[in-house]
Structure 1
């Protein structure tokens, strides 16, 4: 049984481990409802007001469950917040052994092969694009995830983005010379192995669409 009260309750782990944490009855109630849904199956629609602590209310039972859980967010910003801030905070406070992975769609990852091709032809690009390509190259040496959200110094409307990312049409798959360095393949591998996978609704809907058409799946099998 998932003991949500031991974490979110008045004398729970978070009240001791997190400065400023205060017990909220609605948060604990929602957490227990989520826990029951994970354990017994079925569907749950939960609504709560601002300040209830909804994020912890679904993350805590997911971490306690020992199940393979996929968490989908409405925006990539919230997705990053869960992965970078909230989940590490909870895992440390709860001493949770659960592993966590972040998974986004193909266009969110650096394509090493396309970047290298673009760098070979810098004279064919405008000066600004060439500068942006050099920034990407410098970043590519140190990045572990290849998530282009890390490139905060580049403007959203930069013409470099389509030069360094791939689509389903131009991806070479296993025939790519840089396949062994593919960040998307590595992200999907981590998602397969993790206990908790954080995705966004766009990727979730794309997975539904591919499954409906009989072309496989984008997401790993999960318990909840």
Structure 2
């Protein structure tokens, strides 16, 4: 990631102006004074190494108001969201836009709790042991198996043909109690370990409160 960029208040405001970098990549962008005001507050807090508590109403454009100055600062950034849905939106939609706007080379990482990742070892065990006998669960298990051959992240949110509350998920994800850690035969390809490693190496990490 580039070196830290020290900006004055007008510069932070300009990031979200009609002639700013965000306007260049978002069609029909229109500056919002409250959004710019929030960006200034965030930017000043970062540059002065202070804590800021900011409340903004609906329609202000809070996401870009904190993401642009955060990435422009050039430091390590951790963004925590209230829901996994918002977490995915930030990582897959909003952050790429900000990176493009700033022409930043920042490495991004998405990190969720271990229950959100497929466990390759437990997946194999479920298939070999015949854990499920009812037709629906068996069908779900094979759908997950098919997906497991294609996924890079192992994030179970990618699977849209198996209900999120299906019983089968508890048998193909791990807990801290049943995880074998480095002793696991599949550790080299462990999705949890890989996600944590990516987070350690990233400039921007998106997590959630839960």
Under a length normalisation based on structure 1, what TM-score does the superposition of the two structures give?
A: 0.86
> 1:11-160 residue pairs with structure 2 within 5 A?
11-122=19-130, 124-160=132-168
Q: Tell me the secondary structure at the aligned position of residue 71 of structure 1.
A: strand
Where does the alignment leave 5 or more consecutive residues of structure 1 unmatched? 203-224
In the aligned structure 2, how far is the partner of 1:82 from the partner of 1:157? 24
Report the more deviating stretch, 37-46 or 193-202.
37-46
Structure 2, unaligned runs of 5 or more: 1-5
Candidates 151, 163, 172, aligned match of 2:171: 163
Aligned to 1:142, the other structure's residue is in SS state: coil
Residues 129 and 35 (structure 1), Cα distance of their counterparts in 2 relative to 1, 3 Å cut: same
Which is further off, 66-75 or 84-93?
Answer: 84-93
Runs of 4+ in 1 over 4 A off after TM superposition: none
Q: Structure 2 CA distance, aligned partners of 1:115 and 1:123?
A: 10
Paired residues, number? 202
> Using a 3 Å threshold, how does the CA distance of structure 1 residues 190 and 123 change in structure 2: closer, same or farther?
closer
> How much does 1:184 deviate?
0.5
* Aligned position for 1:181: 189
Distance 1:120 1:49, change over 3 A: same
- Kept in 2, the 8 Å contact 1:62–1:196? The answer is no
Distance in 1 (alpha carbons) for counterparts of 2:47 and 2:110: 23
**Does the C-alpha gap of structure 1 residues 176 and 199 become closer, same or farther in structure 2, counting only changes over 3 Å?**
same
